[in-house]
Amino acid sequence: MLVSNIKSRPVYGGLKVDVAARRHLVAAEGEGALAVIDAFGAHPEALARTTLLYAAGGSAGEDHAARLAAFRPDDLFVMPSQPTLITRLNVILNTATMGTRLYAAGVEGFIGSVVAAGMAHGVDQASIRTEHRGSLARRVQCVHCKGMTENVTVSPVTCSHCGIPLLVRDHYSRRLGAFQGVSIDAETPGDVPPAEELYA
């Protein structure tokens, strides 16, 4: 069911600390905290110039906030949810200066939201460092009704807004931070193959 070889499928290069940066602005979600601990554990000198935002939700797993606090970054914001984290991130991006490097770690939907926030503030997508951790669950946009369905692990999936059964494609929108879902039974209504667990 996976439709591959699609160029827009994001590639995550890993959370490497850019030692040339003057400021590190790190957004992590769920298991993404472990990527932060791995990357910045190797560069403790960078922590004094690091602002860390963390939300435990999203991917299943434990809350890593205490471990991140023990890292003693310059600033740590533990946020109750991904949307509140993105709101806080936008406030920081608004007054950030050049020399600030943006990092994102966690599930794909979260990385997509952070990258979209960075791009909206003029940050080139290529200079945002990303690492995928945790569930493979996707944010899927129904191309028919434009509704978003979060945490999709199967394909086909039923659109949570209009109810059309959707084939989840690798076709990805950076602006929306979402994969595209297209009607799977448009030609033969009702002919819907069984859902496969592809993005657990």
- Binding positions for another protein, rule: CB under 8 A: 18, 20-23, 93, 96-101, 119, 121-124, 126-127
| Residue number, 81 or 127, with CB nearest to another protein | 127
Work out how close the CB of 91 gets to another protein at its nearest, in angstroms, rounded to a whole number.
13
Work out how close the CB of 20 gets to another protein at its nearest, in angstroms, rounded to a whole number.
5
Work out how close the CB of 87 gets to another protein at its nearest, in angstroms, rounded to a whole number.
17
**Antiparallel, parallel or unpaired: β 129-132 and 50-55:** unpaired
**Distances from the Cα of 187 to the Cα of 166, 184, 190, angstroms:** 13, 8, 9
| Residue number, 78 or 119, with CB nearest to another protein | 119
Do the Cβ atoms of 116 and 174 come closer than 8 Å? Answer: yes
Distance CA 6, CA 21 (A): 32
| Residue number, 128 or 164, with CB nearest to another protein | 128
Work out how close the CB of 121 gets to another protein at its nearest, in angstroms, rounded to a whole number.
5
Residue 131's CB: how many other CB atoms inside 10 A? 21
| Residue number, 56 or 93, with CB nearest to another protein | 93
**Antiparallel, parallel or unpaired: β 165-173 and 129-132:** unpaired
